[in-house]
Structure 1
């Protein structure tokens, strides 16, 4: 399954059993539709909780406002609460993340991502 959205707050890393780490973050997915018989377009936002288990180092890139394309599967967590009622939540278990657009603003991406090599516009100035 594939979803695309913007990260709503900086990702967090949690340590779990046996020295494993999980990166948790949430994204907002924007959608729109036109109700039957109406000329007005309705916009809706769906918030999706996500987890990524493969590399905690990726968390530094997952900052608020970053546009990401995620691949993975949906997981359902069900439990009985203190109120003796059943509760549940959906989590998108991410297996691959593509960063489409970094967040704007100061310190929005690691410095290594911002470095660019300059290329001469004159082909005669090439070093080979």
Structure 2
């Protein structure tokens, strides 16, 4: 059995977009993961690792409006590395061919106002026949 899978939790760097490339549609977005460690001198080093994420799966076209800058997400998929040259220097980019996304907190989410708990009214005989629930 072979497994080539990556799971990353981070924040979306810019709003996701649908790209039409040569007749194929993709959902694309960037994902940032903060990392910190202490170097050999004991100095704290902070950096951000960026991932380029994309998928052709149609089910993600429906939630593209939720994939907004700052939202925390868990992304699962197949990783790859792209090497390119820019300004005479070699660079690398980590790509994830997304297979699954779990949405987390977004700074744009509205938090519900705190409310006092409400006690449920006691059930009376015959209530189950009059409810509008489909189950």
Give TM-score, length-normalised by structure 1: 0.69
- Verify the 8 A CA contact 1:77 1:90 in the aligned structure 2: yes
Matched, 1:102 2:106: yes
Q: Which ranges in structure 1 are unaligned for 5 or more consecutive residues?
A: none
1:18-97, aligned counterparts within 5 Å?
A: 18=23, 20-38=24-42, 40-55=43-58, 56-77=61-82, 89-97=93-101
Change (3 A) 1:78 1:31: closer
Matched, 1:123 2:134: no
Residues 65-104 of structure 1: per-residue CA shift (max 9 Å, x gap): 11000001112346899x9xx9864311110000111232
Distance in 2 between residues matched to 1:87 and 1:48, nearest whole Å: 13
Distance in 1 between residues matched to 2:83 and 2:47, nearest whole Å: 26
SS at match of 1:123: coil
1:43 shift after superposition: 1.4
Distance in 2 between residues matched to 1:79 and 1:7, nearest whole Å: 23
1:24 shift after superposition: 0.6
Give 1 or 2 for the bigger CA radius of gyration: 2
- Verify the 8 A CA contact 2:50 2:94 in the aligned structure 1: no
Change (3 A) 1:63 1:125: farther
2:16 aligned partner: 11
